[in-house]
Structure formats: C-alpha cells, structure tokens
C-alpha cells in the first residue's frame, strides 16, 4: 500500500524544465530516500507535494485521494532552508506552527511541551529563538515538523547543522516515528545516512527520475560480479571465467586483489580456482555502496543502467 | 479563513508585545502636549521677564513724543548726531533713534542704530509708533478728531454658509475646515508610510529568516500576505485609538494645570497679553468658532477617516508587501519604492496646492476620485462639503483599487517569497505576475 502516489508530474519555469513526467510510489511506513544532485528538481517535487506550488501536469494521490488542502494537517515538512521567527519565544513558536497544521491551541501547547521534554530542551520553552544556537533552533524545527503526528514527514537534509551526538538523537527519533507508522521522505546528499536509514530510494537527475526501488533491489541490480580477495603468496592470475582487475599490498604480507567474475556465476567455483593459486584470507563480493551508485549514475558512467 | 486569523493574531501580538510599541504608544501622546505646553509656557515667561530696554532718542524735529512703555525706557539725548552716536556706542543701551527735521508729508532720514542687527518686527514697531504720531499731528491740523475718523470707517464681515440640497444651511469657516482637512490628510499620509514600511520590513524579515517555506506549506501565500497586512493594520488602529484617548486626556489635564483654555485663539491672546476690550470682542468670535466646530459632523468624519485609512492602507500595504517579497534586503527595496511613494507624495502636494485654494476645482475632484490619491485628498476635501455622489464614487473606486492591488501584489508575493538571491528588476516582476502557480 502506498501512502503517496506521484503520477507523471511535470513542471517548468519559463525556459527551465524542473520536472518532466516524474512518477513514483512511496510505500507506507517506510523511509523513502529522494536523491539527486543539486538542481535536479528534488525541491520542486517536494514543494509540489507540499502544495506550495502546482505542477503543470500530472496528479498526486495522498492515501488514495487527490492531494488537497485538507492534507496539510497530515504532512510535516522540514525544508532545507530553515528558519524561525527570531523574536518569538520557543513555546509561542511551536504553538503557532502546530496551530497552522491544524492543532488546537491547547493540544499544540501540550504536544510541544511533551516533545521538548523528550528531547530534554524544556528549559528553552520561554527563551527567544535569537538567543539559541543553530543546533538548538534545528531541534525546535524538528519538533515543529513532527508534533502534529503527520502521516507523511518530509525531511530535506535533516542532519545538516547537527553535531554527531544530536544527529544520532534525531536519527533515532526518525526511526521511532517510522516504527510508529509514519512515512518519511528523506532528501539528502549524505549517502551514509541513506545507507543507514532508507528502505526505498528514488533518484532524480536533470528533471527526470533515473532510479526507483527498494534499497536491497537496487543494490542487487548494481552488483557487477566483482570480488575482493585478500591473500598471501604471489600474485593472482586471470583464469577461465574471471579476470584480475588490480592488486595492492595491504601490509602483513597480504595482497588485496579485485577480481572480475560474473554476477550470476557461483562464487564457490571462483573460490576453488583461487585456492589453487594462493592462501586465501578473505573472500567477499563487492556490493556497491549507495555512494558508488549515486556517483556512477550522475556522472553517466552507466548510461545503459540509466533506463532501468 | 481560520489560518488567516492565526496569521493576523501572530502579526498583531508580536508587534504589540514589543517594548518599542509600548514606548512609542505612550511617549507620543505625552510628548506632543509636553512640547506644545512647554512652548506656550516659555513664551509667557519670556514676555513676563523681558528686561526694560533703554532707547536713546535724538529728536531734532521736536514734534514727536516718546513716552516710556513697559518694555522701553526712552531717553532724550542731545545732538549733534555724531556725539549721540559716540555716546551710544560706548553705552550698553539697546538702541538709538535719530529723527532729523522733516516735513510731515515726507518723513525721511530717520535712522535706527543698535549694537546688533534688529529684527524686522522691532524696527516695524518703532515705525508704527512714529507713523501714529505723525497721523495724529496731521489730524489735528486738518481739524478732524478720532471720533469723526472712526465714524468714517465701516467694517464688513461676510459670513459663509453651506447650503445643502434640502435647503438646510450651516455656517462654514474655511479656517476650521482647512484645519480639519490638513490634520486628516496628513495623518493618513503619515500612517500610509509608517505602517506600509512595517509590512515591508516584516516580509523581508520573514524571507531572510527563511521561515516562509514552512509557513507557505501550511498557508496559501495570498492568505499569508493578507494576514500580515491586516495584522499590521490592526496594530495601527489600536495605536491610533490609544493615542487619541491619551492625547485628549493629557491635553485636558495639561491645559487645566496651566490654567489655559482649550481654545487656541484664547491661548494666543493670553500670550499677547491683550487688553480687556478686544478680549470681549474676541470672546464672541470664540463662541462663534465653537459653534462652527460643534456643527462639524464629527462622527461622519471619524468614520470616513477610518474608511479611507483602511482603504488607502490596504491599497498601499499590499504593494509594500509585494516589494518586500521581491527583495532580500531593505536596501534592495529602494528601487521599487519610488513608484509607490510618488502617488502618496503627489496626493499630499495636491492637497496643499489645489485642494486648499480650490476644494471643488477639477484637479481637486480628480485627485479625490483616483484611488491612489483619494485617501489623502478626500480627507482634505471632506470639511469643505463634498457631494454624496462624489464621495460614493471615490469610496467604490478605492475598494476596487485595493482589491486590484491585493490581487496584483499576491501574484508577485507568491513567487517572490520563495526566491533567494535573485536579482530582481521590473521585467522579472512582470514575468512573475504572468507566471502560473
């Protein structure tokens, strides 16, 4: 079941095409990574989902119904460019933003306080935003994004501006929200957090979607049948069905060799061949990281995969 | 609708809670009466404490008569002029007046010497004194006396009335209506600038703090703009009402404390220390003035003021909001301010140059009909009596005008607030205007 269904959305700004025919389904209760280089059209898509702007063509279904203003209370949005009213107090600000998302004043205040307690920042309730550090203000913004318990949470670079401790804290909160039933669209350039958090991934490049699927499926698709072998005693030589790509000394008399094999062949056969040549200490298939996939796709090194 | 109200509430509260709001709201009404009262007080003191000045008089004609007054002690000195001048320049006395022998029809060669350049009024005062004496001498010669002369004089005073279609007549006084027009027109001019600038400032701040993106994901940009404009307007109305209440309370209290009447004419009289006779005569005039003032339809003017203030403010506030949304800093806003400020300034100048001299002339009419100038100009004209149809036309056009500018500004605003670092010019503004959502 998908919470959000984007159907061939296009959007252009006078001469510039921001999105062309982008479709995707965002499954319920998952963390959905929306990736792409700067200027690819991610922000445009996010703004269209938030109904800040309208697409020229296409439609969006939220929970099966065409997206409309009623859905604002079911969406939480943390934009990349973020800020708060500097002269307002933390409490007033949270109550106001909660009210804008459809909470009553009382409920908004109650939930704001509960979240501040949870993140251990209740002491700041009466302080003005301008007196807080950037990281502190980020936490307030995170609370404002999720306090109305939205079904869909859109986070654009949520970890920027956080130190590692707080980034971890927010990461745990995001996972907890997902486990409680929220669906999260997560837009970022930091591939290690995609690796850690995302269940699904879609990638946009030059206004078009070039990749979409579960993280496991994508990794499976991008396997290229290369293996990393650590061994002692001499160099490995290419044989039938496999080819040595390169080798390097890694100390302790060990050599690490990258071997090209086929992605559907049985690794046992390769291992048997290699055991004959050297003393094998480690043998592992090289699974591409999201970072590798991102870079290779964006650089267009795999044009044949771009259609996938 | 509910959300517009939330925005209005926030805009209102965040401004009213500021210390500066409290300060300005309380200080302005304290300051104005304090300044006026202080000046009146000083003027009275100045008059009271004037020192007796010694004036040397060298009168070679020997036909004039100098009697000491409250302010001047005249000392007749001996000639010739050179020695009188020498004596005066050594003394610390106030002035030396030299009167040579002269013919009554041609009094020439009278000179006034002083240590510093005398004020125009001062020399004029002495001129009057001498003229009066010569006139008396001439009268005596011609055989007439004061009484006969007085009989020759006839005073004509024209009373002007406004005649309505129904035939009711009410006394009018261009002085009073001028005063009302001036104050009302100027107040609107002042409010347009002050609160318009506040709207613009607010939008720029919101844009710079980058909170807009969060807000527009919950509120339509147009609603956000309306909320801001109306929020600031309500601050203005509240501040205005507080001022009016405080100013009247403080004025009454202050005037009572100084023992002065509320009427400016009487106050002026007390300052001049006029004699009894003219004060009685003036009192009649004062009562007449009061009658005219009480004839002024205060309720109508206040209601129209509120209407034109709100109408004009909405019209310009929207434009100020649009400018704020298009730029990143107040400095960038300069280039777009001119076309907005120009009609406001034209309105105020039109008020001074055309409406007051000729309140029902062609230019006055058009300026009070066109929505961009009507808030200021119509308030200036209103005291002179404006036909109902003109008023209705002006009001309808003003409503149409602000609906138009709100629409126009909304189209620029929705794009502008999401644009950062873009170099904006009129061509780009026009493009935003046409751009679909």
Residue A248 belongs to a domain: yes
Chain A residues whose CB is inside 8 A of the B215 CB are 100
Residue predicted with more confidence, B402 or B178: B402
Residue predicted with more confidence, B195 or B281: B195
Q: Chain B within 8 Å of A100 (Cβ-Cβ)?
A: yes
Chain B residues whose CB is inside 8 A of the A153 CB are none
Q: Structural domain tally of chain A?
A: 2
Suggest the residue from B17, B214, B419, B436 to mutate for an interface test with chain A (most A CBs closer than 10 A). B214
Residue A303 belongs to a domain: no
**Digit-coded pLDDT (tens) for B143-197:** 777 777 778 777 777 776 666 555 555 555 666 777 777 888 888 888 888 889 9
Chain B residues whose CB is inside 8 A of the A187 CB are none
C-alpha distance from A262 to closest chain B C-alpha (Å): 49
Decide if pLDDT at B264 tops 60.
no
Pick from B10, B211, B218: which is nearest to A83 by CB? B211
Task: Give the number of C-alpha atoms closer than 13 A to the C-alpha of residue B365, restricted to the C-beta side.
Answer: 8
Is the same domain home to A66 and A155? yes
Of A223-232, B30-39, B420-429, give the range with the top mean pLDDT: A223-232
C-alpha distance from A206 to closest chain B C-alpha (Å): 20
d(C-alpha B198, C-alpha B175), whole Å: 34
Residue A308 belongs to a domain: no
Is the same domain home to A127 and A82? yes
Residue A115: pLDDT band with limits 50, 70, 90 = very high
C-alpha distance from B213 to closest chain A C-alpha (Å): 7
The domain that holds A39 is classified in CATH as 3.40.50.300
Chain A residues whose CB is inside 8 A of the B418 CB are 47, 52-53
Coil vs helix vs strand at B53: strand
Chain A residues whose CB is inside 8 A of the B204 CB are none
The encoded tokens of residue A16 equal: 């510039």
Residue A290 belongs to a domain: no
Alpha-carbon Rg for chain A in angstroms: 24
d(C-alpha A270, C-alpha A244), whole Å: 12
Go through A272-284 and write b for each residue having 16 or more CB atoms within 10 A of its CB, e for each that does not. ebbeebbeeeebe
Residue A45 belongs to a domain: yes
User: What average pLDDT does the segment A168-183 reach?
Assistant: 92
The encoded tokens of residue B58 equal: 């060298």
Residue B81: pLDDT band with limits 50, 70, 90 = confident
Is the same domain home to A57 and A188? yes
Decide if pLDDT at B271 tops 50.
no
> Please, which residues bridge with residue B103 across strands?
B106
Is the same domain home to A38 and A178? yes
Is the same domain home to A247 and A216? no
Domains, chain B, ranges and CATH? 53-149 (3.40.190.10), 173-434 (no CATH)
User: Is A85–B211 a contact, with Cβ atoms under 8 angstroms apart?
Assistant: yes
d(C-alpha A284, C-alpha A287), whole Å: 9
Task: Report the relative pairing of strands A75-78 and A152-156 from DSSP bridges.
Answer: parallel
Q: Chain B within 8 Å of A99 (Cβ-Cβ)?
A: yes
Decide if pLDDT at B66 tops 90.
no
Closest residue of B to A13, CA-based? B435
For every residue of B208-235, DSSP letters joined together read HTT-HHHHHTTS-HHHHHHHHHHHHHHH
Share of chain B above pLDDT 90, in %: 18
User: Is B211–A144 a contact, with Cβ atoms under 8 angstroms apart?
Assistant: no
Sheet holding B111-114, edge to edge: B72-76, B53-59, B95-99, B111-114
Is the same domain home to A176 and A277? no
Is the same domain home to A192 and A231? no
C-alpha distance from A216 to closest chain B C-alpha (Å): 33
Is the same domain home to A251 and A141? no
Cβ–Cβ < 8 Å for B56, B73: no
Cβ–Cβ < 8 Å for A29, A178: yes
Residue A299 belongs to a domain: no
Closest residue of A to B222, CA-based? A52
Decide if pLDDT at A20 tops 50.
yes
Pick from B205, B210, B218: which is nearest to A101 by CB? B218
The encoded tokens of residue A157 equal: 């670079």
Chain A residues whose CB is inside 8 A of the B210 CB are 79, 81-83
For every residue of chain A, DSSP letters joined together read -EEEEEEEEEEEETTEEEEEEEEEEEETTSEEEEE--TTSSHHHHHHHHTTSS--SEEEEEETTEE--GGGGGGEEEE-SS----TTSBHHHHHHHHHHHTT--HHHHHHHHHHHHHHTT-GGGTTSBGGGS-HHHHHHHHHHHHHTT--SEEEEESTTTT--HHHHHHHHHHHHHHHHTT-EEEEE-S-HHHHHHH-SEEEEEETTEEEEEEEHHHHHHHT---EEEEEEESS----BTTBEEEEEEEEETTEEEEEEE--TTS-HHHHHHHHHHHSEEEEEEE-PPPHHHHHHHHHTTS-TTTTT-
Residue predicted with more confidence, A143 or B91: A143
pTM of the model: 0.74
Is the same domain home to A146 and A246? no
Q: Which of B218, B129, B181, B209 is nearest to B360 (CA)?
A: B181
- The verdict on ipTM greater than 0.90 is no
Decide if pLDDT at B274 tops 50.
no
Q: Which of B313, B333, B314 is nearest to B323 (CA)?
A: B333
Decide if pLDDT at B277 tops 50.
no
Residue A143: pLDDT band with limits 50, 70, 90 = very high
Residue A171 belongs to a domain: yes
Closest residue of A to B19, CA-based? A87
- The predicted structure's pLDDT at residue B424: 81
User: What average pLDDT does the segment B94-121 reach?
Assistant: 80
d(C-alpha B207, C-alpha B189), whole Å: 27
Is the same domain home to A45 and A75? yes
Residue B296: pLDDT band with limits 50, 70, 90 = low
Closest residue of A to B13, CA-based? A88
**Digit-coded pLDDT (tens) for A26-68:** 999 999 999 888 888 888 999 999 998 888 899 999 988 999 9
C-alpha distance from B193 to closest chain A C-alpha (Å): 23
d(C-alpha B223, C-alpha B220), whole Å: 5
- The predicted structure's pLDDT at residue B165: 58
User: What average pLDDT does the segment B234-248 reach?
Assistant: 84
Residue A308: pLDDT band with limits 50, 70, 90 = very low
Residue A302 belongs to a domain: no
Of A12-16, A217-221, B225-229, give the range with the top mean pLDDT: B225-229
Mean pLDDT, all residues of chain A = 87
Q: Look up the domain containing A208 and give its range.
A: 2-220
**Digit-coded pLDDT (tens) for B325-358:** 988 888 888 888 888 889 999 998 998 888 888 8
Task: Give the number of C-alpha atoms closer than 13 A to the C-alpha of residue B159, restricted to the C-beta side.
Answer: 9
Residue predicted with more confidence, A96 or B80: A96
Residue B111: pLDDT band with limits 50, 70, 90 = confident
User: Is A56–B436 a contact, with Cβ atoms under 8 angstroms apart?
Assistant: yes
Q: Which of A163, A190, A220 is the last residue of a domain?
A: A220
d(C-alpha B42, C-alpha B37), whole Å: 9
Suggest the residue from A10, A52, A87, A147 to mutate for an interface test with chain B (most B CBs closer than 10 A). A52
Is the same domain home to A12 and A156? yes
C-alpha distance from A43 to closest chain B C-alpha (Å): 11
Q: Which of A220, A244, A273 is the last residue of a domain?
A: A220
Pick from A52, A54, A88: which is nearest to B217 by CB? A52
- The predicted structure's pLDDT at residue A141: 92
Give residues 198 to 217 of B whose Cβ lies within 8 Å of A: 205-206, 208-211, 213-217
**Digit-coded pLDDT (tens) for A211-252:** 888 888 888 888 888 888 888 877 777 777 788 888 888 888
Residue predicted with more confidence, B125 or A167: A167
User: Is B437–A96 a contact, with Cβ atoms under 8 angstroms apart?
Assistant: no
Q: Chain B within 8 Å of A36 (Cβ-Cβ)?
A: no
Q: Which of A220, A253, A271 is the last residue of a domain?
A: A220
Task: Report the relative pairing of strands A75-78 and A2-13 from DSSP bridges.
Answer: unpaired
- The predicted structure's pLDDT at residue A153: 95
Coil vs helix vs strand at B170: strand
Q: What is the DSSP letter of B355?
A: I
Is the same domain home to A207 and A274? no
């Amino acid at each position: 079941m998908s919470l959000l269904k984007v159907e061939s959305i296009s959007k252009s700004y006078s001469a510039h095409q921001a999105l062309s025919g982008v479709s995707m389904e965002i499954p319920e209760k998952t963390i959905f990574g929306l990736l792409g280089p700067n200027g690819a059209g991610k922000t445009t898509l996010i703004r269209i989902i938030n109904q800040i702007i309208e697409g020229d063509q296409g439609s969006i279904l939220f929970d099966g119904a065409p997206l409309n203003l009623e859905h604002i209370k079911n969406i939480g949005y943390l934009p990349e460019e973020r800020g708060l009213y500097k002269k307002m107090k933390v409490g007033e600000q949270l109550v106001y933003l909660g009210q804008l998302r459809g909470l009553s004043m009382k409920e908004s205040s109650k939930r704001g306080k509960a979240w501040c307690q949870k993140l251990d920042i209740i002491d700041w309730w009466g302080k003005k935003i301008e007196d807080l550090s950037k990281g502190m203000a980020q936490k307030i913004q995170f609370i404002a994004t999720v306090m109305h318990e939205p079904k869909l949470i859109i986070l654009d670079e949520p970890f920027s501006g956080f130190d590692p401790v707080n980034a971890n804290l927010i990461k745990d909160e995001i996972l907890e929200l997902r486990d409680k039933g929220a669906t999260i669209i997560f837009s970022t350039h930091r591939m290690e957090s995609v690796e850690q958090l995302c269940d699904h991934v879609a990638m946009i490049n030059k206004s078009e979607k070039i990749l979409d699927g579960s993280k496991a499926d994508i990794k499976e698709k991008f396997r290229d049948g290369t293996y990393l072998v650590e061994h002692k005693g001499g160099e490995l030589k290419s044989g039938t069905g496999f080819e040595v790509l390169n080798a390097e000394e890694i100390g302790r008399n060990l050599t690490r060799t990258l071997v090209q094999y086929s992605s559907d062949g049985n690794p046992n056969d390769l291992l048997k061949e290699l055991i004959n040549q050297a003393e094998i200490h480690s043998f592992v298939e090289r699974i591409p990281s999201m970072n590798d996939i991102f870079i290779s796709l964006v650089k267009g090194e795999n044009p044949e995969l771009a259609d996938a | 609708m509910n959300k517009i109200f939330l925005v209005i509430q926030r805009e209102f509260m965040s401004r009213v809670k500021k210390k500066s709001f409290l300060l300005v709201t309380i200080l302005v009404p304290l300051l104005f009466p304090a300044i006026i009262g202080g000046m009146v007080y000083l003027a009275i003191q100045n008059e009271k404490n004037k020192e007796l000045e010694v004036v040397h008089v060298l009168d070679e004609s020997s036909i004039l008569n100098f009697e000491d007054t409250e302010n001047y002690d005249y000392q007749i000195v001996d000639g010739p002029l050179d020695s009188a001048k020498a004596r005066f320049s050594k003394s610390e006395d106030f002035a030396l007046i030299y009167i040579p022998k002269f013919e009554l029809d041609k009094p020439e060669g009278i000179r006034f010497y002083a240590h510093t350049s005398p004020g125009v009024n001062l020399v004029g005062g002495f001129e009057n004194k001498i003229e009066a004496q010569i006139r008396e001498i001439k009268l005596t010669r011609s055989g007439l006396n004061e009484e006969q002369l007085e009989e020759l004089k006839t005073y004509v005073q024209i009373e002007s009335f406004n005649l309505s279609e129904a035939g009711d007549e009410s006394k009018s006084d261009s002085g009073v209506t001028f005063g009302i027009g001036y104050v009302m027109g100027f107040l609107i001019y002042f409010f347009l600038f002050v609160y318009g600038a506040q709207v613009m400032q607010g939008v720029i701040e919101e844009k710079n703090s980058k909170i807009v993106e969060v807000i527009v994901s919950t509120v339509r940009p147009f609603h956000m703009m309306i909320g801001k404009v109306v929020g600031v307007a309500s601050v203005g109305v509240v501040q205005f009402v507080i001022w009016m209440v405080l100013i009247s309370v403080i004025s009454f209290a202050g005037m009572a404390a100084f023992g002065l009447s509320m009427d400016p004419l009487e106050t002026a009289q007390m300052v001049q220390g006029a004699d009894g006779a003219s004060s009685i005569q003036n009192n009649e005039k004062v009562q007449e003035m009061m009658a005219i003032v009480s004839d002024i339809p205060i309720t109508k003017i206040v209601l129209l003021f509120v209407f034109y203030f709100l109408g004009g403010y909405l019209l310009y506030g929207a434009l100020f909001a649009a400018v704020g949304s298009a730029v990143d800093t107040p400095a960038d806003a300069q280039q777009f301010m001119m076309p907005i400020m120009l009609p406001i300034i034209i309105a105020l100048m039109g008020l001074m140059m055309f409406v007051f001299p000729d309140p029902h002339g062609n230019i006055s009419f058009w300026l009070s009909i066109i929505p961009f100038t009507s808030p200021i100009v119509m308030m200036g004209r209103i005291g002179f009596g404006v036909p109902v149809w003109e008023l209705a036309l002006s009001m309808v056009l003003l409503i149409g005008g602000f609906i138009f500018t709100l629409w126009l500004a909304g189209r620029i605003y929705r794009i502008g607030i999401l644009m950062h670092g873009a170099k904006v010019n009129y061509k780009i503004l026009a493009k935003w205007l046409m751009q679909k959502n």
